[in-house]
Amino acid sequence: MKNQLNRPPEPGEDELLPVRPNREVPPGGPRVGLALGAGAARGLAHLAVLQEMEAAGIAIHAISGSSAGALVAAIYACGTDLHWAMRLGESLSWEHLVRVTVPRLGFLDAERLLQLVRLLTRNRSFEQTRIPLYILATDIENGQEVVLHEGNVAEAVRASVAIPGVFVPYRLGGRLLVDGGVLNRVPVQILRDVGMDVVIGVDVSTAAVPPVRVTNVLGVILQTIEIMEHEVFRHRSSGADILIRPDLEGLSAADFHQAAELYRRGREAARQAIPAIKALLEAGRGAKEQPSGPSQAVS
């Protein structure tokens, strides 16, 4: 396994990937849902948040994700070892995930990413995941939010990460799909709809749109999407009982080379939030998030 930790796995290696122990979810008590938000490279912080929640003994009964959050949610739901995934994250670059294509619907072809996700999720279907998984995408042709929860997990992730104008959209189930974060950055409501008693959200955006030096057309598109998603989320309550917001100031959506720092900040935010999560679970019920309530938003 040593050689597999500094590069994406090759076809046929999925059976060798480390598997997370399959812990039984204790019966009784509140059912907990975890919603992981969009953020491209900043989504690596989700891995550290999940690792800390596992270490604290907090059981997750269902998980949802948009864009980068969809990728991490899928990895978790399919049982891939989190420590291994974090080691892989430290070696990722755009070159591992995409190739430049002749622009028609997007500049980058994410076929490499799709193959990597197939391996990381063992090419499982939604029916084969350890816990229920819900992935958010956006129908670019009619502007509707789409919840993906059937069929192949990797294909759903590929649709959800398709940043408009950057990645080629993905056609699935007769729809042309792009980034779920366009409409729903932190997909909390779907977990309410399927009966979760307590919903925890993880938002890996920054408090303000980070200033970046834009030097090419891809930079223009990425920064435009960042501004749009930030404004949508700013005017929309997350609806989470507890919203974890790692302090990711100074880290951009393209900073894959900052994986260790993203993990550190994600871990720190999770540790700060865990006492509030445990208290909420002890109380046995979820309390609706108050936008100005300091006890509900943890950053």
Q: Give the catalytic positions in this structure.
A: 67, 179
- Decide: residue 264, CB within 10 A, 0-12 exposed, 13-18 middle, 19+ buried: middle
DSSP state of 256: G
Contact 34, 202 (CB under 8 A): yes
**Rounded CA gap, 133 and 153, in Å?**
9
Residue 66: CA atoms inside 13 Å, Cβ hemisphere, count?
A: 31
**Rounded CA gap, 37 and 197, in Å?**
19
3-state secondary structure of 171: strand
What are the CA-CA distances from residue 66 to residues 18, 100, 182, 294 (Å)? 25, 23, 9, 25
Residue 153: CA atoms inside 13 Å, Cβ hemisphere, count?
A: 32
